[in-house]
A and B are shown apart, each in its own frame.
Chain A
Amino acid sequence: DGGITQSPKYLFRKEGQNVTLSCEQNLNHDAMYWYRQDPGQGLRLIYYSQIVNDFQKGDIAEGYSVSREKKESFPLTVTSAQKNPTAFYLCASTPRQGAGETQYFGPGTRLLVL
């Protein structure tokens, strides 16, 4: 069954803690994306990666970091520098970089601050 998986479904962060959200895809897609969604808001781009070992900042990258060591994996770390991390985080992928194709989304991770 091909698709994008995100884990965990819910994540709780304590003050000053870094947390990592997982995103894995078995679609053999080149490009992967991380978005943040706040209640009643559209999605905002945090980071994207077009190929392995390469990634670019999106519109709201401050307080976040990513890595792309494998084609199928694109984890997002929410650092302690992100002062308002409570949101719904969505990972997406597309078959080829820069081709303007449909984006496929994972089920999302909801991050809450304790």
Chain B
Amino acid sequence: KQEVTQIPAALSVPEGENLVLNCSFTDSAIYNLQWFRQDPGKGLTSLLLIQSSQREQTSGRLNASLDKSSGRSTLYIAASQPGDSATYLCAVGRRGAGSYQLTFGKGTKLSVIP
């Protein structure tokens, strides 16, 4: 059974700092990996999707990397802003019998201090 772990569980940084969020998974036979953002009491917003054949994806100040063989992904946030404060969730995707499912980590709660 796939297990997804995110470290740290919470992180507080001053505004402007670059930071890295970590995600690890136990089964390397993944289809893809997605990073989401969740604001308090809200639904999830997709940030980046990395296919299993890719090494990284970039969107603005966000860069996600994937090392499938070692079961790791990182989300790099450059020049952090208070508006980046949220919980970031990593989810590993698997395909089988025409279906696609995600297994989620518990998230990293990020606070960016002005």
B43, A105: Cβ atoms closer than 8 Å: yes
**Cβ-based interface call for B32 (8 A):** yes
**Cβ-based interface call for B60 (8 A):** no
For window 72-114 of A, CB contacts with B under 8 Å fall at 88, 90, 92, 94, 97-108, 110
B98, A103: Cβ atoms closer than 8 Å: no
Known: A42-B106, A43-B89. A104 touches B46 (CB 8 A): yes
Q: Is the interface of B mostly helix, strand, loop or mixed?
A: strand
Contact residue among B9, B42, B95 (Cβ-Cβ distance under 8 Å from A108): B42
Known: A42-B4, A42-B89, A42-B107. A103 touches B102 (CB 8 A): yes
**Partner-B contacts on A (CB < 8 A):** 4, 6, 31, 40-45, 48, 50, 56, 58, 88, 90, 92, 94, 97-108, 110
